[in-house]
Amino acid sequence: MINKLIGKILHTSTKKQALTRLSIIATIATGIGGIIASNIHEDYWNKTIFRVQTVDFNILSHTLPTKLSYALIKRNSEEVQRTLNSNYSLFGLVLTDPTGKKIITYSGKNSSISRPWKAYLDPEKLKNHPFDVLLDPPPLFPERIYDDPHVTESTPTKLINNGRIIGRIYYVRIPKRTFKDDIIKWISNPFSSSGWIESYLVTIIAIIIVIILINLERTFVQEREQQLKEDNRRLQIDLAEKIQGRELQQAQIDSQRSQFEQESQELRNRINVLNQSIHQLQSESENRLSELQKRLSNTQLESQQNLDQQQKYEDRIQLLTRQLNEQKDNQSEELKHQISQAQFELNSLQIREDQYRQLVNDLQQQINQKDDQEQQLQSQVRDLQNSVNTYQEEEKRLQKQIEDSKSESENLATIIEQYKEEINRHDLNHFEKEIQKVLTKSFPNSRIETQFDVGENTDNYSKFTDFIVIFKRACVVIEAKSYKGMITPNESDAKNGRWVCKTKKRDVEILSCWGKNPYQQVKTYRDAIRNNKNLQIGSPNQVYGIVVFPSDSSIHEELIQMGLHYRVTTLNNLVATINQLNRQVK
């Protein structure tokens, strides 16, 4: 219901606008047509008709006095009247007596058609009109002539005709009709075959057609402007949504990257702990093994020494036994005692030998156990090393994700920056700051405007240009685009199609807040400057538009020169391009 009501209101509003437009067209056409028709009227009566009648009067001055004089001498009144009627009464031929005080006859006397010149059929009024005298015998020479069609008065010829004056022939011009009378007659019969009416008709029709065409063109421009405004509004909303989405996506990527970095740090810490554990286990194993081997070596040395000592005691016992058998009885007791003592020490050494053997066996067993532990430890080390390798692979994966996330974050930052370029007023990005620095350095004596609104005051849509360089006779509108890559049209029509930035990774469509591409955007700014006389940037003779990309970008040859007033260039060629355009004006 509401939609229908809105539609009805819009339809009514559209009809009112159409009627208003038609009324304006009719008023303008009537005014201009009236002025032109008035000029035609003046030209027709004051030039065309006047000159034609002057030529007619000049011809008649050479022939009519002779003819009428001869007819009067012959008293042939019918021939006189036929001669006077030969001009179809388009202008007046009046025959009077020799003094001019009495009208004898005139052209169209017996015609019922009313002629405006007949208002002068009065001897007093005829005094203001040119005349020739009729003579007996008929005159041979013209006594008065018109030097050219533009003159208003005839001049004497200094040729004299002899004879008796028998009458006068007056030449009466058609009185000029008023413009009002012409218009009334044209309105009453607009399709008359009369030349002046046809002129009026053709003029008015031509004016109406021209005004309609102008209005259609103006309507088309307004519709295109409105479409651009609507596209700009939608683009602003779309850009805002995209920026918000991209910023959220960037925040998520930054958070994910932070998480990846934290996990990577934890993995590195765990790897360090595992490596320390491996080193500690290896060090403990090596120390313990070294200690056991040292104890084993010492025990084996002591056992060997004990065996040597035991052999000495056995040798001594044998020696004492031989001595005992050889010596006398009084010495036998002492030898027995020595043998007993040696036997006791030998038994002690044997016991110690058994202990050493047991200790060696125990140490050897511990060493064997240590070998088993070493194998287990090596197995643990291998497991730990595998874990370290796994963690290192995971760290590499996380590191790659971090790098990818960082790259994507940088790309998102670039995209967000490019989106923000198309939003009306914004902080200058790095590329725009570079342009500002170059312009300020290269044109210190010229006025440079940054983010200048060239939209009309009554317009709800702002048109913020990036830069305007204002010279004495020209100004250059500069639109900055921070896309790096090969700048090329995506369609065959570079002016009306979209543009893309081609890189090794992908193709990116170049955004424009007015129109489909940067050319249409800068053209909109240029048209706005030319149409808006209220901008306080002087009155430049020429307005140019430049689209500038970073220095390491490449411009497709179709885009470099977009007509007489537009250029597409890179930052390193910007100054030369501006100077070249400025020299065109000079």
398: Cβ contacts below 8 Å, ≥ 6 apart: 260, 261, 263, 264, 267
* Distances from the Cα of 176 to the Cα of 35, 42, 57, 65, angstroms: 18, 9, 17, 26
**Cα 126 to Cα 95: distance, rounded to the nearest angstrom:** 11
Q: Residue 135 in contact with residue 65, Cβ under 8 Å?
A: yes
In the predicted structure, residue 164 carries a pLDDT above the cut 80: yes
How many angstroms from the chain centroid is the CA of residue 328? 139
Assigned token pair, 426: 């914004």
Cβ atoms < 10 Å from Cβ of 326:
9
Place of tokens 């009537």: 30
Query: For the CA atoms of 259, 264, 268, 269, what is the dihedral angle to 10 degrees?
Result: 10
How sure is the predictor about 411, in pLDDT bands with cuts at 50, 70 and 90?
Answer: low
pTM of the predicted model, to two decimals? 0.43
Which amino acid is present at 570? T
DSSP 571: G
Q: Residue 135 in contact with residue 164, Cβ under 8 Å?
A: yes
Which amino acid is present at 384? L
Tally helices (H) and strands (E) across the chain: 11, 15
How many angstroms from the chain centroid is the CA of residue 85? 76
pLDDT score at 408: 63
* Distances from the Cα of 481 to the Cα of 225, 526, 553, 582, angstroms: 23, 17, 11, 22
Query: For the CA atoms of 273, 278, 281, 285, what is the dihedral angle to 10 degrees?
Result: -160
Region of poorest pLDDT, from 209-213, 400-404, 496-500: 400-404
Helix (H, G, I), strand (E, B) or coil at 491: coil
Give the model confidence (pLDDT) of 30-43 as tens digits: 666 667 666 666 66
**Cα 477 to Cα 514: distance, rounded to the nearest angstrom:** 14
- Between 2 and 234, whose confidence is greater? 234
Strands 566-570 and 542-549: parallel
Place of tokens 């995506």: 490
Assigned token pair, 397: 């994966």
pLDDT score at 1: 41
pLDDT score at 97: 92
Helix (H, G, I), strand (E, B) or coil at 497: coil
Helix (H, G, I), strand (E, B) or coil at 142: coil
In the predicted structure, residue 10 carries a pLDDT above the cut 60: no
pLDDT score at 126: 87
Give the model confidence (pLDDT) of 35-74 as tens digits: 766 666 666 666 677 788 888 888 888 888 999 989 999 8
**Cα 42 to Cα 69: distance, rounded to the nearest angstrom:** 37
